[in-house]
């Protein structure tokens, strides 16, 4: 699975949000985008997932221009959990997760035994088996988030893109999701690309980090190369002390104050 953005410009109406961006997503690794609100993280993720067509440049999936590939073809290679996914409140969790099987369905769209197996596996993996017959509208924010993650898993793709998968989750459930993604990456060699606001979790769980500011990449590389006091000042306008966490063997950022104007 290779995903590359080459000179990509993404725009809404006349406003360029991402301009001439180049980025290689390392295959079979965990990549995390960080950056302040409005810096273009979701926009870039949408561009990489073929949900938004670049105004200029190309996104290549396995060497092929993603916008010249069919929906089903892309959906068998790459699944995407958006930042604010929506579905009818009455939809049952199992029905939502079943939607993840759409790229595999034939003409009549009936679920096969393999589809059912993948749906059960996804429900179990995301820990929402017990919620399978509940309507989405009755779930807590965190339960709903896990149901959506199960849908992305049911799609069973080599690459999984997730926009802030830990929002709405308590600390234990945040770790549950990140450990799950880590396991999918390690055991099943999935390529994971996500957006996180918690730079410490990003540093701990990522092989590769990309810091965005105003639609451009300001730094990318290993967590210890990206999480620096200079970068925190440049990208987030904060003064921070960077330490090393021995328990997780990753950089730890302690925000101290906003940078002076």
Ligand X SMILES: Nc1ncnc2c1ncn2[C@@H]1O[C@H](COP(=O)(O)OP(=O)(O)OP(=O)(O)O)[C@@H](O)[C@H]1O
The CB-of-147 to Mg ion minimum distance in angstroms stands at: 20
Given 3, 5, 21, 41, the residue binding ligand X (CB under 6 A): 41
Chain positions 195 to 234 lying near ligand X, rule: CB under 6 A, are none
Is residue 53 close enough to count as binding ligand X by CB under 6 A?
A: no
| Among the listed residues 7, 12, 230, 259, the single contact to ligand X using CB under 6 A | 12
The residues binding Mg ion (CB under 5 A) are: 41-42, 83
Q: Is 31 in the site for ligand X (CB under 6 A)?
A: no
**Chosen residue from 3, 21, 25, 42 binding ligand X by CB under 6 A:** 42
CB of residue 39 to ligand X, shortest distance in Å: 4
Residue 203 vs residues 175, 209, 226, 250: alpha-carbon distances, Å: 13, 8, 9, 6
Residue 25's beta-bridge partner residues?
3
Determine how β-strand 56-61 pairs with β-strand 64-65.
antiparallel
DSSP string, 190-257: -EEEEE-S-HHHHHHH-SEEEEEETTEEEEEESHHHH--HHHHHHHH-EEEEEEEETTTTEEEEEEEE
83 lies in the site for ligand X, by CB under 6 A: yes
Taking CB positions, which residue lies at the least distance from Mg ion?
42
From the CB of 195, what's the least distance to ligand X, in Å? 6
Burial of 16 (0-12, 13-18, 19+ CB in 10 A): middle
The residue from 5, 25, 34, 43 that contacts ligand X (CB under 6 A) is 43
Summarize as ranges the residues that interact with ligand X (CB under 6 A): 12, 17, 35, 37-43, 83
């Amino acid at each position: 699975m290779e995903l590359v953005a080459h000179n990509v410009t993404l725009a809404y109406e006349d406003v360029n949000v991402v301009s001439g961006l180049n980025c290689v997503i390392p295959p079979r690794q965990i990549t995390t985008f960080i950056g302040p609100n409005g810096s273009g993280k979701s926009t870039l993720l949408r561009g990489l997932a073929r949900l938004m067509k670049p105004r200029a440049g190309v996104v290549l999936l396995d060497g092929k221009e993603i916008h010249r590939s069919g929906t089903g073809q892309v959906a068998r290679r790459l699944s995407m959990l958006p930042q604010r996914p929506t579905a009818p409140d009455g939809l049952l969790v199992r029905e939502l997760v079943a939607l993840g099987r759409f790229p595999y369905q034939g003409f009549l769209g009936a679920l096969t035994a393999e589809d059912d197996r993948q749906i059960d596996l996804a429900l179990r993996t995301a820990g929402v088996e017990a919620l399978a017959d509940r309507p989405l509208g009755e779930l807590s924010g965190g339960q709903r988030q896990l149901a959506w993650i199960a849908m992305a898993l049911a799609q069973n793709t080599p690459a999984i893109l997730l926009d802030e998968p830990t929002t709405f989750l308590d600390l234990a459930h945040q770790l549950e999701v990140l450990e799950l993604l880590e396991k999918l990456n390690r055991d099943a060699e999935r390529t994971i690309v996500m957006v996180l606001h918690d730079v410490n979790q990003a540093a701990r769980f990522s092989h590769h980090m990309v810091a965005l500011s105003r639609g451009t990449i300001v730094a990318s590389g290993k967590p210890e190369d990206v999480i620096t006091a200079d970068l925190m000042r440049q990208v987030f306008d904060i003064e921070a002390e960077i330490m090393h966490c021995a328990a997780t063997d990753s950089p730890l950022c302690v925000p101290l104050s906003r940078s002076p104007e």
